[in-house]
Copies of this chain bind each other. A is one copy, B any other.
Amino acid sequence: MSDIPYKIYLEESEMPKQWYNVRADMKKKPAPILNPGTLQPVTLQELSGIFCEELAKQELDDTTPYFDIPAEIRDFYKMYRPSPLVRAYCLEKKLDTPAHIYYKFEGNNTSGSHKLNSAIAQAYYAKKQGLKGVTTETGAGQWGTALSMACSYFDLDCQVYMVKVSYEQKPFRREVMRTYGATVTPSPSMNTEVGRRINAEFPGTTGSLGCAISEAVEAAVSQEGYRYVLGSVLSQVLLHQSVIGLEAKAALDKYGIKADMIIGCAGGGSNLGGLISPFVGEMLRGENQYEIIAVEPASCPSLTRGVYAYDFCDTGKVCPLAKMYTLGSGFIPSANHAGGLRYHGMSSVVSELYDQKLISARSVEQTSVFEAARTFARVEGILPAPESSHAIRVAIDEALKCKETGEAKNIVFGLTGTGYFDMVAYQKFNDGEMSDYIPTDEDLKKSIDMLPKV
C-alpha cells in the first residue's frame, strides 16, 4: 500500500467556496436556449416566470467563471460534504491492474445521490426570493428525494409529480419524500389541465417523465408564489454540481495525483458535467490534458447515436428548446432499462464539449453494467446505483486495458449514488432475468425525424 489513504477527505476549510461555470472558459459557447413560442433566445424576464430569478440569471450567464456559494448552502453542504475521494485499492487488487482507480462518492446522503448538491441551491434561491414553494417532476426518484430534503431544510412547500409507474413500483422512494414533508402526486394526475387531458386521451396510462414535467410546470405557473425546478440538463444545475469536480480536484492535488482519465455516467449530464468542469477548464485554458469519457446506456444513446440539434427539453414541449445531442423528445426509452439514464437529450454544455471533441463518449449494455456493479460491490463494499454502475463498467474496462499494457494510469470516476432503492433491478440480475436492449436505427430515425425545425 502506498501513502494514499483509502478515502481522501478534505477539511471543511478546504471545501469550495465558489461554483465554477465552465461556460466562461469556452471560446465557442453552448447555443442559447430558445423560447418555445417565439423560437428566439429566451430572455431573463421570460425565464424568471418559470424559474427563480437568481437561477434564471445563472442559467443565462456564460461569462462569469465563478459564483460564490452562499453561506447557508455551504452550511448545508457541511452535513454531507466534503464527499470522499476513494482509492479503490480492493478493486485494483481484484482486477490485478497496475492502474490506480479513484472514485468520487456522492451517495453518502439520504437522497442517495449527487442530486442534493443542486437541490439545496435551488431551494435556497427560492426561499431567498420569498416563494412559498416549488414544483418538480421525478422519475426514478433521486431528484424528488433530494428536493424534498432541501425544501424541508428551508421550510418550503415541495410538490413532486412522480411518474405514475414509479409512484406505484417505488413506494419506498415515495415514502422518503413524504417523510421529508413533500406532497407526491402520481402523474398524470387530475390536478392540472395537461394531466386531465392526458388521462382523458390515454385512459390507464402509467405516465412519462415528459408528462410529469408538463404538469409540474403548469402547477408552478398557476400557483401564486411557486416556481418550477429541475434536477439535470440545465446549465445552472451543472454549475452547482461543479462542487463535485472542484472537491475531486482539490483532493487529487492534495496528494499530488494527476488524473489521466475521468469517467462519468451521463443521463441529462448533471453529474458528468459537474465532475469534469474544473478539469475541462484546465484543458480549455491550455493548462492540462485529460481523457474524459461520458458513459451512456446503449438503450438511450444520445451522444453516441443522437444528432446535435435544437430540441424540446420535455415531451410536453412547454420548456425552452436547447441545442443538444438528442434522440428527439419523442424518443421513448425501453422500459427494459433499469437505471435513471433515460433522458432523450444531453445538457447543452456537455453536448458542446462533446462536439468540440474535448470529451468522448461510450455506450454500454445493461447486463455488463450490473456485472460491473456486482464486482464493485463485493470488493469495495458500496452497493452502487445502476446509473453509477455505467461509469464503473468503463473504469473496469480501462483498468483491464492497463493490465495488458502495464500502464499505471490514474483513473477517476464518479460514483454518483447508491442502489438501495433499485433492488428490483438487482433481483432481475440475480435471477438471470435481465436482458439488454439496443434501439435499431429505424427506432431512432422515427423520433429524430420529428425534431423541431429551428
The answer for the CA separation of A9 and B82 in the assembled complex, in Å, is: 11
CA–CA, A176 to B381, complex, Å? 11
Task: Tell me the nearest residue of chain B to A430, going by C-beta.
Answer: B178
Distance in angstroms between the alpha carbons of A175 and B422 in the assembled complex: 10
Looking at chain A, what size class is its interface with the partner chain? 35 or more
Complex: A382 Cα to B108 Cα, angstroms: 9
A180-B79 contact, Cβ under 8 Å, with A171-B427, A423-B175: no
Q: Does A5 contact B (CB under 8 A)?
A: yes
Chain A 150-166, CB-CB to B under 8 Å as 1, else 0, gives 00110000000000000
Nearest CB of B to A427, in Å:
5
Contact of A180 among B89, B181, B377 (CB under 8 A): B377
Copies in the complex: 2
Q: Assess the A176–B90 pair: CB atoms within 8 A.
A: no
Partner of A382, one of B12, B109, B378: B109
Q: Is A382 a contact partner of B110 (Cβ separation < 8 A)?
A: yes
- Nearest chain-B residue to A380 (Cβ)? B79
A383 touches B6 (CB 8 A): no
A426 on interface, CB distance cutoff 8 Å: yes
A5-B12, A110-B381, A381-B79 as given contacts; A420 in contact with B153, CB under 8 Å: no
- Residues on B with C-beta less than 8 A from A86 are 79
Q: Is A66 an interface residue (CB 8 A)?
A: no
A404 to chain B, nearest CB (A): 25
The interface residues of chain B lying within 8 Å CB-to-CB of A12 are 5-7
Query: Would you give the shortest CB distance from A8 to chain B, in whole angstroms?
Result: 10
Please pick, from B76, B80, B89, B180, the residue contacting A378 in the complex, using a CB distance under 8 A: B180
Q: Which residues of B contact A43 (CB under 8 A)?
A: none
21 intermolecular pairs with C-beta atoms under 8 Å apart: A1-B75, A5-B78, A7-B78, A9-B9, A79-B86, A79-B381, A108-B108, A109-B381, A109-B382, A110-B377, A110-B382, A110-B418, A149-B381, A152-B377, A153-B378, A153-B379, A172-B420, A176-B383, A178-B430, A179-B383, A179-B430
Q: Apart from A109-B381, A149-B381, A176-B426, what are 15 other A-B pairs with CB-CB below 8 Å?
A: A5-B11, A7-B12, A75-B89, A79-B90, A79-B380, A79-B381, A109-B382, A149-B378, A152-B377, A152-B379, A175-B423, A176-B423, A179-B374, A179-B429, A420-B420
Q: A interface vs B, CB < 8 Å?
A: 1, 5-7, 9, 11-12, 75-76, 78-80, 86, 89-90, 108-110, 112, 149, 152-153, 171-172, 175-176, 178-181, 374, 377-383, 418, 420-421, 423, 426-427, 429-430
